[in-house]
Structure 1
């Protein structure tokens, strides 16, 4: 009987893949999640796969087909995509539809988790931390948090910018940086998981804790 690898992760685009790669390359990444360590190869095509079309609707419609070949080689599957795209039915419907398709294609119900980030990946990466300004190459005054508040892109009473991708793109225009996967990888490698208040990240956190419980827990 072939030994199955712990988990395969399907993501919607290269920026999302870079964020996962950055996170899993952190030393002691499992400690920040409170789960047991497990082996994961973040090279695309190994335990991390990207929709070739690089889009969320593609994952929505054919995620189960993309993951079908991995049923015999992996114990668990995670699907991650954004909620915001043309024709999106919303978070709950996205997660229910893909889960239903995965189970119908042969995955066990408890072996899969679909995470739709509302509204999009950048919500995981925005924190009022110097590492964020550093990754976005912002060195000016006022501090980045205040600048975004002044511009109406991140109200001071909000935990995250309401339009996280647009806020990131605006800063990158100011610093004359192209939006690249390297930025996402750097951010995910440095930002605090405790500082991430996004509900979808919390779902990922809880899922990995349940599947890969640390020693000494039931």
Structure 2
């Protein structure tokens, strides 16, 4: 049996997972025992993105019940008009119920429904950790990237993250700092290089806790 199979909704999520496990010290970052991960065997991208993961991702994972110990479903909550029309808890429960129906017991899978979307994971209150990924010219601008975004009314003072994480990334990428970067490249580098120790997102922290439970660290 292989370890964990990840079902993701798009290329940005795929790059994030790849970046995290590209770091040779991923087990120390996760604070878990080391396990095997291979992108060809353990990572699936749904062709219909978030709606596909929500509607029939369980069908893609059905054949992995006998090949993998665990499964992780990664999906953005904020697709279509979900923020206005759907309850977040019910959204998650629908995916869980479908997973159970296809043979996955509760203790063998985790649903990481990011609220509202993946970009929220990329931002931290202290932007000094991620400024090198954006090639942000702090010395020239004279302020942190956070302050730069606040001056443009994209980050409210006192908040831990920009109120519109995607727009904040888009405006930063449009400045022409350094080499041109796709979202996928940004997400992969942040996942690989930047500590998530200060992350406040419940879905991400829930995933960390689940992996730690699946693969607890051993102590001499």
Task: Give TM-score scaled by structure 2 length.
Answer: 0.90
Q: Which runs of 5+ in 1 are unaligned?
A: none
- For 1:133 and 1:155, the matched residues in 2 are separated by 19
- For 2:121 and 2:102, the matched residues in 1 are separated by 30
1:90 and 1:133, CA in 2 relative to 1: closer, same or farther beyond 3 A? farther
> For residue 75 of structure 2, what is the aligned residue in structure 1?
81
Asked if structure 2 preserves the Cα contact closer than 8 Å seen for 1:35 and 1:214, the reply is yes
- For 1:40 and 1:85, the matched residues in 2 are separated by 28
Residue 191 of structure 1 deviates from its aligned partner by: 1.4
Q: Aligned with 2:7: secondary structure?
A: strand
Residue 200 of structure 1 deviates from its aligned partner by: 1.3
Residue 133 of structure 1 deviates from its aligned partner by: 1.9
> For residue 158 of structure 2, what is the aligned residue in structure 1?
157
Residue 178 of structure 1 deviates from its aligned partner by: 4.8
Asked if structure 2 preserves the Cα contact closer than 8 Å seen for 1:137 and 1:175, the reply is no
- For 1:20 and 1:166, the matched residues in 2 are separated by 22
Which aligned pairs between 1:14-163 and structure 2 lie closer than 5 A? 14-41=11-38, 43=39, 45-53=40-48, 55-88=49-82, 89-127=86-124, 128-139=126-137, 140-141=140-141, 142-163=143-164
Q: Aligned with 1:46: secondary structure?
A: helix
Post-superposition Cα deviations, 1:102-149, rounded to whole Å, max 9, x if no partner, equal: 110111121111011111111111122334222223214132111111
Q: Which runs of 5+ in 2 are unaligned?
A: none
Q: RMSD between aligned alpha carbons?
A: 1.7
Asked if structure 2 preserves the Cα contact closer than 8 Å seen for 1:15 and 1:180, the reply is yes
- For 2:81 and 2:147, the matched residues in 1 are separated by 34
Asked if 1:215 corresponds to 2:200, the answer is no
- For 1:27 and 1:216, the matched residues in 2 are separated by 20
Task: Give TM-score scaled by structure 1 length.
Answer: 0.91
- For 2:193 and 2:161, the matched residues in 1 are separated by 17
> For residue 182 of structure 2, what is the aligned residue in structure 1?
179
